[in-house]
Amino acid sequence: MAAQFHLALPCLSISKTRAFYSDLLGAQIGRSSVKWIDVNFYNHQITFTESGPFNFDSKSYSFNGHILPSFHFGIILNRQEWTKVFKLLNSKKINSVAEVKFLNGKTGEHDSFFVIDPNGYTVEFKCFTKSDEVFEP
């Protein structure tokens, strides 16, 4: 299925959100106003609306020996692009940039790193060892 996703999220500051996604990650900003922006996140639309924090009751879960945030979103990149973004964020000393390998030696093996945006959202960047295993059971 070739389609784009749309995700709408509350945010704390439009200006800080714009700076993180546009200035740091290089994402294009689409339509916007004083209280909201559309971000082109790898050709997918994320709409951030300045409306305050959003909380979930279940903050984290354990997977493959790592504690991960229950709510996070991200992008699956090829190795070259993943490495480029990983190096960029490491060079900028962004918090929570740490490489983790999941499902080592198993179907769906992938490398991930996680960063926290200005709203406290965890953004995951994934790179699968075998790109055809993204949806394999």
Mean pLDDT by 10 residues, the chain (137 residues): 78 94 95 90 91 73 75 90 92 78 92 90 92 84
Same structural domain for residues 34 and 75?
no
What pLDDT does residue 75 have?
92
Domain count, the chain: 2
CATH of the domain at 106: 3.10.180.10
Whether 85 contacts 135, CB under 8 Å: no
What pLDDT does residue 8 have?
85
Q: Please, what's the largest Cα pairwise distance for the chain? A: 48
What pLDDT does residue 64 have?
75
Q: List, in sequence order, every beta strand (DSSP E) within 1-137.
A: 6-11, 28-32, 36-40, 45-50, 60-63, 66-69, 72-76, 100-102, 110-116, 122-128
Q: How far apart are CA 38 and CA 130, in angstroms?
A: 31
65 domain-assigned: no
Same structural domain for residues 45 and 101?
no
What pLDDT does residue 13 have?
93
Same structural domain for residues 78 and 39?
no
Residue 72 sits at the vertex; the CA angle it makes with 121 and 79, to the nearest 5 degrees, is 105
59 domain-assigned: no
Q: Identify the bridge partners of residue 38 per DSSP, sorted by sequence position.
A: 47
> What's the pTM value of the predicted model, to 2 decimals?
0.80
Same structural domain for residues 99 and 132?
yes
60 domain-assigned: no
Residue ranges making up the domain that contains 39? 1-51
What pLDDT does residue 97 have?
63
